[in-house]
Amino acid sequence: MGYLMSEETSKQEWQVIKQLVSSIQVEQRRSRRWGIFFKSLTFIFLFSVLAVALSDNDMEGFSESQDHVAVVDIYGPIIMGSKASSAHLLPALADAFAAPNSKAILLNINSPGGSPVQAGIVFDELQLLKKTYPSKPVYAVIADVGASGAYYIAAAADYIYANKASTVGSIGVVGSGFGFDQLIAKLGVERRTYTAGGNKDFLDPFLAEKPQQKAMFQHLLDDIHQQFITQVELGRGERLKHKVDLYSGAVWHGAGALELGLVDGLGSLHSVARDELDLDNLVWYSPEKTPLEEVMDELGAQTQAAISWSLNQGWVIQ
């Protein structure tokens, strides 16, 4: 009797083991199927990105072989390391001018400005390239914003266009900071600064402002402002209709800027190419992005739009 029970128990144990092994095999097959599925999705995604990139390259190569308008984007802050820095823009501008089939250069501007140094470098390079390629006119088209350093660069163009609602101008220079000297005095904190050179503590936010240093800084800003004004007048010439506040750092919408001579007309990227240059073939010479960067930028734009919609309950004013 004990032997029969032992044999029965053994059979049950083997049955359980077989079921367990079978379950493991089923799970492994499912895992492999899901693995194959996700690997296939990844392959399809990468293949699609590659196909789009190759297709774009083929189309771009064809476009470059025809007469075209060479477009250079000037987007975002004009500062060192940005896509609108001189290090990024100068090679793109050189390629745009040198392209044998480019008939005109179009600066596609959407920037609030930035460093006067970076803007000045791009302005000077544009002046040089215009002399080197005198048959290729330069147009600047301002989208949402073309202010401060962005307008500095635009002034180097032969013609400037903007939308009637674009923000244009801000011909001025700003320097700012904070003063914490009274705060730390209330907290009982003493600032100790040791310098070799009377102005090495220049603009130290934890020291009381010194009148001579304030005057020195104002003089510096005034000089840079005058450089800005000189370049704007060099580029715009007699088209400017001077007013008291023209160089005050004020901004105008595109229609107001047209009245002041800050722009030559109202239009968009495509309307200027079509109506002024009689060309609808636009080729971008801006710093190229990798396919992955383009995909990530698109994802970022979609996410930003979704967040804006949520915060504004569907209403987004741009």
Exposure pattern of 83-120 as b/e (b: 16+ CB <10 Å)? Answer: bbbbebbeebbeebbebeebbbbbbbbbbbbbbbebbb
**Alpha helix positions (H), the chain:** 2-64, 86-98, 116-132, 149-154, 181-186, 211-236, 254-260, 269-275, 291-311
CA-based nearest residue to 286, from 148, 85, 68:
85
CA–CA dist 109, 269 (Å, integer):
9
pLDDT score, position 74: 96
CA-based nearest residue to 78, from 150, 171, 161:
150
Phi and psi dihedrals of 185, rounded to 5?
Answer: -65, -40
- Which CATH number does 64-173+238-311 carry? 3.90.226.10
Please check whether residue 132 is in contact with residue 88, taking contact to mean a CB–CB distance below 8 angstroms.
no
Phi and psi dihedrals of 253, rounded to 5?
Answer: -75, 170
Structure tokens at 269: 């990227």
Q: Where are the domains of the chain?
A: 1-48, 64-173+238-311
**pLDDT tens digit sequence for 219-261:** 999 999 999 999 999 999 999 998 778 999 999 999 999 999 9
pLDDT score, position 32: 73
Phi and psi dihedrals of 123, rounded to 5?
Answer: -55, -50
CA-based nearest residue to 301, from 60, 48, 75:
75
262 vs 11 pLDDT, higher one? 262
CA–CA dist 159, 139 (Å, integer):
5
pLDDT score, position 287: 65
- Collapsing DSSP to helix, strand or coil, 237 comes out as helix
239 vs 64 pLDDT, higher one? 239
pLDDT score, position 309: 39
Please check whether residue 275 is in contact with residue 172, taking contact to mean a CB–CB distance below 8 angstroms.
no
- Collapsing DSSP to helix, strand or coil, 117 comes out as helix
